[in-house]
């Protein structure tokens, strides 16, 4: 008798935006029960009442996801595996991995300070990693982190958080944001093409909703 496959967990994969290599992976400890999605089309002339432009689109819609995730480190015992945060640090490792996506590194801040000290006033903003939100095989989404809201609920004796609820708000990056050659642009096109394939499976014909085409 075959053993049932373990359920897949969603989470984030952080990529080097230039080379595409994986920097780190942050899986959800438990898959979220609820995900709130907003899809806002980018139309032309809809507000102005222009009949010729009512159905035209400027580009991909603005899509945002709000995800509530729960994490629990109360069962941390024994010796930490190689590369993992030390046992006894609670959720600091996981929280730090998420928050580092929106924080310049110490090396980047030091470099900017050194350039400013040499009189280079127009210092280019630093570039963070590319977050990829993975929600199953059909939704692998390049995103920009908009908000990370953390509610720490329980602590150990050294005030390390061991239970936390994290609300993540992200916006999908499209080819309009990064271009077609960027790694994020390629991932977005794959997501859009997958959505089109699934939409085509629902084509039951006009009679299914009582529409005859007249």
139 pLDDT more than 80? yes
Residue 172: what pLDDT?
96
Give CA separation, 156 vs 76, 102, 133, 174, 202, in Å.
11, 27, 30, 42, 51
H/E element holding 176? helix 175-178
Q: Which residue carries 């990064």 as its tokens?
A: 178
Residue 202: what pLDDT?
81
Instruction: List all residues 6 or more positions away from 67 whose beta carbon is below 8 Å from its beta carbon.
Output: 32, 35, 36, 167, 168, 169, 170
Specify whether the CB–CB gap between 80 and 90 falls below 8 A.
no
Which residues, in sequence order, are bridge partners of residue 87? Answer: none
Q: Which long-range contacts (CB under 8 A, 24 or more apart) does 104-107 make?
A: 104/128
Residue 5: what pLDDT?
52
Residue 102 — very low, low, confident or very high, per pLDDT cuts 50/70/90? confident
């Amino acid at each position: 008798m075959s053993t049932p496959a373990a359920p897949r967990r969603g989470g984030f994969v952080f990529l080097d935006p230039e080379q595409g290599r994986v920097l780190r992976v942050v899986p959800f400890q438990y898959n979220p029960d609820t995900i709130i999605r907003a899809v806002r089309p980018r139309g032309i002339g809809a507000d102005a009442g222009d009949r010729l432009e009512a159905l035209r689109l400027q580009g991909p819609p603005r899509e945002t996801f709000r995800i509530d995730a729960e994490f629990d480190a109360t069962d941390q015992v024994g010796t930490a595996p190689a590369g993992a945060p030390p046992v006894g640090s609670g959720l600091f490792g996981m929280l730090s991995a998420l928050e580092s996506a929106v924080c310049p590194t110490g090396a980047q801040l030091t470099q900017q300070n050194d350039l400013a000290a040499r009189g280079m006033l127009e210092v280019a903003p630093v570039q963070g990693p590319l977050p990829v939100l993975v929600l199953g095989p059909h939704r692998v989404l390049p995103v920009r982190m908009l908000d990370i809201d953390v509610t720490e609920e329980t602590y150990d004796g050294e005030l390390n958080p061991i239970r936390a609820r994290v609300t993540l708000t992200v916006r999908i990056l499209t080819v309009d944001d990064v271009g077609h050659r960027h790694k994020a642009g390629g991932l977005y096109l794959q997501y859009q093409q997958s959505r089109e394939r699934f939409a085509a499976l629902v084509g039951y014909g006009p009679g299914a909703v009582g529409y005859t085409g007249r």
